[in-house]
């Protein structure tokens, strides 16, 4: 490798996309504190984190899934279905302590269905999960109709919406941190994570190295379903409303955030740190837009544009690095 | 062995002193060839002799570095496949690519259908033109039939008809019979004879020697990219032809040690994968290097894949040290002590975007673990150890493997598998596309491994490599083991004979 090329690759090693996103997050936060009225108060900050938590929770398994070269677009529908079943069973008079495990099992089943369709039938996950996106949401509507269930036990509602003492930090942020640590360890420090990267970078080479590709993908889809249903439960309690259309469109935010955080859509590249920085960058931008009275529709446009930019960004950055290196050599 | 200066018709197409290099590889060196109208001409040579490059040069895919292409005696330069086609040169590949949902007629006239007023396609005229082509070839195929579901033989006929519709005068047929049954071959030869009588020149490539003698008048032989001979087949024997195709001296490129063979380590019993290979049985003993020879497509790689568990087998069994392996489970094979260095190192052997360290580490995901977490220190020292042992040339162990040369990449693949301490090592084309120096290193390594008691199964299309390294040579032909030849009796002729299905030993 010519020296200048090596220098460029070292340069790009040091200034990685996920670092850029992390820095960008800090810049956006500092600017918002300084220039946006009402951003810095404790209530708004707790709103910001609380509203971003559903995205962040699903982003954890989604990061691993995208690193392995797959995707799950049905997560928001799984979350909605989970909330709808929770509301339905609550109306039937079951206790919440029984309902929550049932909903989590339901999430596992939803994920398992996606995983089996992808691994056993060899279907592309993009197509499979567009299908289950519609199917799971449809079932949610059949289960709960147009009802809204709001009368969940107060201690659960309080936990999901409450803050730690006098701080702006939501109570639910603590379990999220625990899950984040687990996810970071799994992806970046275990053999499972190493195999996930290998599968995403070259599924065939992974198979020839004795990695059980199908089993690994099935596990990832199943965990994604589980986390999506957990998010659905949190959503219904946090907003004190279980409706069939809960979390509609959330998959767009999750995937936009994950890609924004530098997870390569083609698999095999990225870090969880970057993905979570992407999640909170997106969350902060949405919060600021709300404070500035930007309409919800316009916010979706911004999310969509960010999605495109985040796929484009790392490639352009790489091309610039390569072009620089070539200019240096010539 | 000189060019016959045939009195009579002038060559329709000729190559004069063509050379072509790819980087440091000289694929063709001063190759000459003359094709006469009404002649079927064979192109013979081992894998890698330069046949494909020659075909692609004729078809306008490659431009020669030196030499001339003469069409009707006039020098021409093809800037692309389109130029060659306009000059009347058509290539029929082993596996044609038709549009499955279009009819035969639509496939033949794709993009240039006869038109009616307002640019509408004239289906009647298309149909009639196709029927006329089929009649010319003496074949009955309904022009309106969709291409989907046609046998490969019929698809080739469609490609030939398409070539004729372009007024092709030179037809190049690249191993057209490889996927055909006996009766399909007979019908194809009928078509070829018809074309010959109509004055076309046909360049015919086949690994089946008997076919060459059956249909061709002259043969041009290539070896290592160099022209060896062009001569009439009349009066030649198959052995003569084989000797021209191979024939090389062995030297210290093959540092084979004599090792006493030990117990059976790998035992393959009546292994069958339907339509791919049938009833394959063999043993490999500790300390032995067993060569697995055969032509490309004979099923050697497929057997290796099934043994390792990448593909499932339909019948039979595989035992490693007396323990049965699970069908379709590479992880089990690996844990039992089997290693496979696959034929395609870029797609199968390595994760190209991963570092040298992590590529070698991929086979240690079960072992370099402490308390459930990757033991990065152990992983690094394991990878470094083996990279150094195999003298991989790299800048940093954390560099991605795509920064390495082909030979060094192959060493990383070997390192990755040797690090598992295998009892049985299967290597598939272990030295393909790597330089001679590294090749000798790989051979020395295989020899040392055998001396240490590893059972080695070496698949190779490089005959001298097989003869130079193997204690025993297994030969496959069309999905079956056709011969087992001890080192003392293995010659290029005897192996080629079994590989081309001439003599079932």
CB distance A255 to A133 below 8 Å:
no
Identify which of B330, B350, B365 has the shortest CB distance to residue A207.
Answer: B330
**B362/A194 Cβ within 8 A:** yes
Exposure on the CB side of residue B170, measured as CA atoms within 13 A: 22
CB distance A239 to A86 below 8 Å:
no
Residue B247 pairs in a beta bridge with none
Chain A contact present for B365, CB below 8 A: yes
Q: In sequence order, what DSSP letters do the residues of B144-189 get, joined into one string?
A: TSBSTT--HHHHHHHHHHHHHHTT-SEEEEESTTTT--HHHHHHHH
Chain B contact present for A295, CB below 8 A: no
pLDDT of B325 over the 60 cut = yes
Identify which of B351, B365, B372 has the shortest CB distance to residue A205.
Answer: B351
Q: What does the pLDDT read at residue A215?
A: 96
Q: What does the pLDDT read at residue B437?
A: 63
- Mean pLDDT score, B390-409: 87
Which residues are CB-neighbours of B367 under 8 A, at least 6 positions away? Answer: none
CB distance A168 to A46 below 8 Å:
yes
Q: Which helix (H) or strand (E) covers residue B227, if one does?
A: strand B226-232
- pLDDT tier, B81 (very low <50, low <70, confident <90, very high otherwise): confident
Q: What does the pLDDT read at residue B250?
A: 38
Q: What does the pLDDT read at residue B297?
A: 80
Instruction: Read off the pLDDT of residues B1-35 as tens digits, 9 standing for 90 and up.
Output: 444 444 457 899 999 999 998 766 678 999 999 99
- pLDDT tier, A2 (very low <50, low <70, confident <90, very high otherwise): very low
Chain B contact present for A58, CB below 8 A: no
Identify which of A189, A201, A207 has the shortest CB distance to residue B354.
Answer: A201
What phi and psi, each to the nearest 5 degrees, are found at residue B445?
A: -60, -45
Could you give the CA distance from residue B505 to residue B242 in angstroms, rounded to a whole number?
Answer: 17
pLDDT of B432 over the 80 cut = no
Instruction: Read off the pLDDT of residues B99-114 as tens digits, 9 standing for 90 and up.
Output: 988 999 999 998 788 8
State how far the alpha carbon of B156 is from the alpha carbons of A166, B121, B149, B188, B234, in Å. 79, 25, 13, 9, 28
Nearest chain B residue to A198, by CA: B351
Nearest chain B residue to A10, by CA: B399
**B349/A205 Cβ within 8 A:** yes
Q: What does the pLDDT read at residue A284?
A: 94
Chain A contact present for B372, CB below 8 A: yes
Interface of B with A in 471-490 (CB under 8 A): none
Set of chain B residues whose Cβ sits within 8 Å of the Cβ of A1? 395, 399, 403
Retrieve residue B221's tokens.
Answer: 């032989």
Identify which of B335, B348, B353 has the shortest CB distance to residue A204.
Answer: B348
Chain B contact present for A200, CB below 8 A: no
Chain B contact present for A191, CB below 8 A: yes
- Mean pLDDT score, A285-297: 91
- Mean pLDDT score, A268-294: 93
Residue B13 pairs in a beta bridge with B35, B71
Return the higher-pLDDT residue of B312 and A303: B312
pLDDT of B393 over the 90 cut = no
Q: What does the pLDDT read at residue B252?
A: 59
Please enumerate, as own/partner, the contacts of B127-136 that have beta carbons within 8 Å and a separation of 24 or more: B129/B105, B129/B165, B130/B104, B130/B105, B130/B161, B133/B108, B133/B161, B133/B164, B133/B165, B134/B161, B136/B164, B136/B194, B136/B198
Pairing relationship of beta strands B315-320 and B323-324 according to DSSP bridges: antiparallel
Eight-class DSSP state of B65: S
**A202/B347 Cβ within 8 A:** yes
Instruction: Read off the pLDDT of residues A121-161 as tens digits, 9 standing for 90 and up.
Output: 999 999 999 999 999 999 999 999 999 999 999 999 999 99
Identify which of B348, B350, B374 has the shortest CB distance to residue A194.
Answer: B374
Q: Other CB atoms closer than 10 Å to residue B481's CB: what's the count?
A: 25
Nearest of B412, B478, B421 to residue B449 by alpha carbon: B421
Retrieve residue A79's tokens.
Answer: 């979350």
Instruction: Read off the pLDDT of residues B268-302 as tens digits, 9 standing for 90 and up.
Output: 999 999 999 999 999 999 999 999 998 878 899 99
Instruction: Read off the pLDDT of residues A56-88 as tens digits, 9 standing for 90 and up.
Output: 999 999 999 999 999 999 999 999 999 999 999
Q: What does the pLDDT read at residue A1?
A: 39
Q: What does the pLDDT read at residue B451?
A: 95
Q: What does the pLDDT read at residue B179?
A: 67
pLDDT of A306 over the 70 cut = yes
Does residue B33 sit in helix, strand or coil? strand
**B349/A208 Cβ within 8 A:** yes
Instruction: Read off the pLDDT of residues B231-273 as tens digits, 9 standing for 90 and up.
Output: 999 988 877 887 787 764 334 567 888 888 899 999 999 999 9
- pLDDT tier, B441 (very low <50, low <70, confident <90, very high otherwise): confident
Identify which of A189, A198, A202 has the shortest CB distance to residue B374.
Answer: A189
Question: A with B: how many residue pairs have Cβ under 8 Å apart?
Answer: 72
pLDDT of B504 over the 60 cut = no
Return the higher-pLDDT residue of A323 and B436: A323
Q: What does the pLDDT read at residue B389?
A: 92
Of A224-238, A253-267, B429-443, B463-477, the range with the highest mean pLDDT is A224-238
Eight-class DSSP state of B355: B
How far B351 CA sits from the closest chain A CA (Å)? Answer: 6
Chain B contact present for A201, CB below 8 A: yes
Residue B481 pairs in a beta bridge with B476
- Mean pLDDT score, B420-445: 85
Q: What does the pLDDT read at residue A112?
A: 98
Which residues are CB-neighbours of B274 under 8 A, at least 6 positions away? Answer: B314
Whether the model pTM is above 0.90: no
Mutual orientation of helices A17-35 and A296-329 as an angle, nearest 10°? 130
pLDDT averaged over chain A? 91
- Mean pLDDT score, B214-218: 93
Set of chain B residues whose Cβ sits within 8 Å of the Cβ of A189? 373-374
**A191/B369 Cβ within 8 A:** yes
Pairing relationship of beta strands B315-320 and B264-273 according to DSSP bridges: antiparallel
pLDDT of B207 over the 80 cut = no
- pLDDT tier, A15 (very low <50, low <70, confident <90, very high otherwise): low
Eight-class DSSP state of B103: B
- Mean pLDDT score, B430-449: 82
A87-101, A207-221, B291-305: which has the minimum mean pLDDT?
B291-305
Instruction: Read off the pLDDT of residues B338-373 as tens digits, 9 standing for 90 and up.
Output: 999 999 898 999 999 999 999 999 999 989 999 889
pLDDT averaged over chain B? 88
How far B331 CA sits from the closest chain A CA (Å)? Answer: 4
**Which among A186, A205, A207 is the top mutation candidate for probing chain B, defined by the most B β-carbons within 10 Å of its own β-carbon?**
A205
A147-151, A253-257, B310-314, B437-441: which has the minimum mean pLDDT?
B437-441
Q: What does the pLDDT read at residue B395?
A: 85
């Amino acid at each position: 490798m010519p020296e200048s090329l090596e220098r460029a690759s070292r340069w790009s090693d040091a200034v990685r996309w996920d670092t850029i996103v992390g820095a960008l997050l800090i810049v956006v936060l500092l600017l918002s504190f300084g220039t946006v009225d009402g951003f810095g108060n404790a209530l708004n900050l707790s709103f910001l984190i609380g509203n971003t938590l559903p995205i962040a929770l699903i982003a954890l398994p989604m990061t691993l899934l995208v690193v392995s070269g797959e995707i799950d677009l049905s997560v928001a529908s799984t979350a909605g279905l989970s909330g709808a079943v929770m509301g339905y069973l609550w109306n039937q008079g079951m206790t919440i302590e029984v309902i929550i495990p049932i909903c989590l099992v339901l999430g596992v089943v939803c994920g398992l269905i996606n995983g089996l369709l992808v691994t056993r039938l060899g279907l592309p996950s993009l197509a499979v999960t567009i299908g289950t996106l519609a199917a799971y949401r449809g079932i949610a509507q059949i289960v709960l109709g147009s009802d809204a269930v709001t009368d969940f036990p107060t201690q659960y509602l309080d936990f999901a919406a409450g803050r730690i003492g006098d701080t702006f930090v939501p109570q639910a942020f603590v379990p999220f941190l625990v899950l984040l640590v687990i996810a970071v360890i799994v992806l970046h420090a275990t053999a499972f994570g190493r195999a996930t990267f290998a599968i995403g970078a070259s599924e065939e080479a992974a198979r020839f190295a004795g990695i059980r590709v199908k089993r690994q993908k099935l596990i990832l889809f199943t965990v994604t379903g589980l986390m999506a249903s957990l998010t659905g439960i949190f959503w219904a309690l946090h907003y004190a409303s279980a409706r069939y259309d809960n979390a509609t469109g959330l998959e767009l935010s999750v995937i936009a955030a994950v890609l924004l955080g530098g997870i390569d859509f083609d698999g095999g590249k990225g870090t969880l740190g970057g993905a979570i920085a992407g999640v909170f960058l997106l969350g902060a931008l949405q919060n600021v837009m709300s404070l500035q009275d930007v309409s919800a529709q316009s916010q979706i446009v911004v999310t969509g544009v960010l999605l495109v930019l985040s796929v484009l960004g790392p490639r352009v950055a790489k091309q610039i690095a390569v072009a620089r290196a070539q200019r240096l050599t010539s | 062995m000189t060019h016959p200066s045939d009195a009579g018709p002038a060559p329709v197409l000729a190559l004069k002193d063509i050379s072509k290099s790819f980087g440091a590889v000289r694929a063709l060196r001063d190759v000459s060839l003359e094709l006469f109208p009404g002649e079927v001409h064979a192109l013979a040579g081992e894998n890698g002799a330069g046949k494909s490059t020659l075909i692609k040069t004729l078809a306008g895919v490659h431009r020669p570095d030196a030499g001339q292409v003469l069409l009707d005696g006039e020098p021409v330069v093809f800037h692309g496949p389109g130029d060659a086609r306009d000059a009347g040169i058509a290539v029929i590949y082993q596996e044609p690519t038709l549009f499955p949902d279009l009819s035969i007629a639509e496939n033949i006239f794709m993009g240039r259908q006869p038109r009616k007023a307002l640019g509408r396609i004239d289906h009647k005229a298309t149909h009639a033109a196709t029927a006329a082509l089929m009649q010319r070839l003496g074949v009955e195929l309904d022009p309106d039939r969709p291409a989907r579901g046609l046998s490969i033989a019929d698809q080739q006929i469609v490609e030939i008809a398409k070539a004729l519709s372009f007024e092709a005068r030179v037809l190049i047929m690249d191993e057209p019979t490889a996927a055909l049954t006996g009766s399909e071959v007979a019908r194809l030869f009928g078509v070829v004879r018809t074309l010959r009588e109509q004055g076309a020149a046909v360049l015919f490539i086949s690994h089946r020697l008997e076919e060459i003698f059956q249909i061709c008048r002259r043969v041009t032989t290539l070896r290592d990219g160099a022209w060896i001979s062009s001569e009439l087949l009349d009066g030649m024997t198959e052995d003569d032809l084989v000797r021209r195709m191979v024939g090389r001296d062995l030297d210290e490129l093959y540092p084979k040690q004599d090792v006493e063979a030990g117990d059976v380590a790998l035992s393959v019993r009546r292994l069958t994968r339907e339509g791919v290979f049938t009833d394959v049985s063999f043993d490999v003993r500790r300390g032995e290097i067993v060569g697995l020879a055969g032509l490309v497509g004979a099923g050697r790689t497929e057997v290796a894949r099934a043994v390792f568990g990448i593909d499932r087998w339909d019948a039979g069994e595989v035992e490693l040290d007396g323990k049965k392996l699970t069908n379709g489970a590479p992880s089990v094979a690996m844990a039992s002590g089997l290693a496979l260095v696959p034929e395609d190192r870029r797609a199968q052997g390595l994760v190209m975007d991963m570092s040298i360290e992590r590529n070698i580490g991929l086979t240690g995901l079960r072992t370099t673990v402490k308390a459930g977490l990757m033991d990065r220190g152990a992983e690094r020292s394991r990878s470094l150890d083996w990279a150094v042992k195999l003298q991989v040339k790299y800048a940093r162990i954390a560099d991605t493997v795509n920064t390495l040369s082909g030979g060094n990449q192959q060493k990383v693949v070997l390192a990755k598998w040797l690090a598992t301490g295998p009892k049985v090592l299967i290597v598939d084309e272990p030295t393909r596309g790597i330089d001679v120096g590294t090749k000798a290193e790989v051979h020395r390594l295989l020899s040392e491994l055998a001396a240490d008691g590893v059972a080695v199964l070496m698949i190779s299309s490089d005959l001298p490599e097989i003869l130079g390294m193997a204690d025993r040579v297994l030969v496959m032909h069309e999905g079956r083991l056709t011969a087992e030849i001890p080192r003392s009796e293995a010659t290029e002729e005897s192996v080629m004979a079994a590989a081309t299905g001439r003599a079932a030993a």
